Amino acid sequence: MLNPRTKTGIGMDSIDPARITVRNLHIDEYDILIRIWDTAGLPSKPKGRDSREHIAREIQEGSGFFLVAELGGKIIGSVFGTSDGRKGWINRLAVLPEYQRQGIGHVLVREAEKRLYDAGIEIIACLIENWNAVSLQAFERMGYVRHDDIIYFTKRRSPDV
C-alpha cells in the first residue's frame, strides 16, 4: 500500500508473491513492528494499545494474531487480525514504503482472512480512516464492500488506547 503521507511506492507486481513469507510476529520483533508502522505512516499508540506489553498479552492470550511479511529474511510488512467470535477484523496493515504497491499488503490480508475463515468466522471487516484513500482503494480492490451508512463510535479510557 502506498504511504498516504509520502506518496512513495514502486510499480505493481515487481516482487513475486511466492518470495514472501508470512509468519507470526515474535514479541522480540516489537521494535521492528513499530518502525514499520511509523515508516508506513500508520499512527500508533505506544503508551497504550500498541505498547510492547499490550501486544505481548494479545499474542499470548490468542485474542488476536500479528503477522509479518518477510522478504529475504527482512520484515517488510505487518497485519493484525482479531475476532469477537462472530466477526473478524483486519487491523494495522502496513508495508514499508519501498515495498508498497507490489501486492505485499494483499498477501498479508489473504493470510489473515484464511486464519479467520479457518476459525469459523464468516464476516471479515476493517475500519479505515476517511483520509486514507490508498487503503480505501486497496481494500475495495481486494473485494471489501464500503458501507457509508455505518457510523463508528468509540469510548476510550484514555487517548492512548
Q: How would you classify residue 85: left for phi > 0, otherwise alpha for psi between -120 and 50, otherwise beta?
A: left
Rg over CA atoms, the chain? 15
Are 69 and 21 within 8 A, CB to CB?
Answer: yes
pLDDT digits (tens, 9 = 90+) for 52-101: 999 999 999 988 999 999 999 999 999 999 999 899 999 999 999 999 99
For the chain, the structural domain boundaries read 17-141
User: What CATH number should be reported for the domain whose range is 17-141?
Assistant: 3.40.630.30
Give me the residue label for grid cell 513475486.
Answer: 16
Write the pLDDT tens digit of every residue in 41-51. Answer: 998 898 888 99
pTM of structure: 0.86
Q: How far apart are CA 10 and CA 76, in angstroms?
A: 14
Over the stretch 109-145, which tens digit does the pLDDT of each residue have?
Answer: 999 999 999 999 999 999 998 888 889 999 999 999 9
**Spatial separation of the C-alpha atoms in residues 35 and 97, rounded to whole Å:** 12
Distance CA 159, CA 161 (A): 6
CB 59 within 8 A of CB 106: no
Q: Which residue has the higher pLDDT, 9 or 102?
A: 102
